[in-house]
Amino acid sequence: MKKLIDKKAKKKRDGKCYFCDESDYELLDCHRIQEGANGGRYTDFNTITTCSNCHRKIHADKIKIHGRYFSTVGRYILHFTNEEGKEVWR
């Protein structure tokens, strides 16, 4: 089983929203990529730091997260569709 994370520590470590670079700690959320209802847990691999605005856009399907993958260069890559409908791997 993967280790659960401390959401406050993750927000401090990441320091900004993954999508818009908002850095006000009070506005940052920890979003689960795979929802809790589908078995998603608060692990480092299954979470991303977002601001409250982008978090709401995810839940409204304006930003669509398709998944997170481990790359051959040793880092995680997020696959998502942004607000403009452009598919992004970052």
For residue 22, what is the domain's CATH number?
1.10.30
Nearest one of 19, 10, 77 to 53, comparing CA atoms: 19
Which token pair is 77? 């890559």
What's the pLDDT score for residue 2?
Answer: 74
Q: Report the predicted TM-score, pTM, of the whole model to 2 decimal places.
A: 0.90
Residue 23 lies in a domain: yes
At position 73, the amino acid (one-letter code) is V
Number of domains in the chain: 1
What's the pLDDT score for residue 6?
Answer: 94
What's the pLDDT score for residue 79?
Answer: 97
Residue 83 lies in a domain: yes
Residue 76 lies in a domain: yes
Residue 1 lies in a domain: no
1 confidence band (pLDDT: 50, 70, 90): low
Instruction: List Cα–Cα distances, 35 to 9, 43, 47, 57, in angstroms.
Output: 20, 12, 10, 15
- 23 Cβ contact list (under 8 Å, min separation 6): 15, 16, 17
Rounded mean pLDDT of 39-63?
A: 96
Residue 2 lies in a domain: no
Residue 74 lies in a domain: yes
29 confidence band (pLDDT: 50, 70, 90): very high
Boundaries of domain holding 82:
7-89
15 confidence band (pLDDT: 50, 70, 90): very high
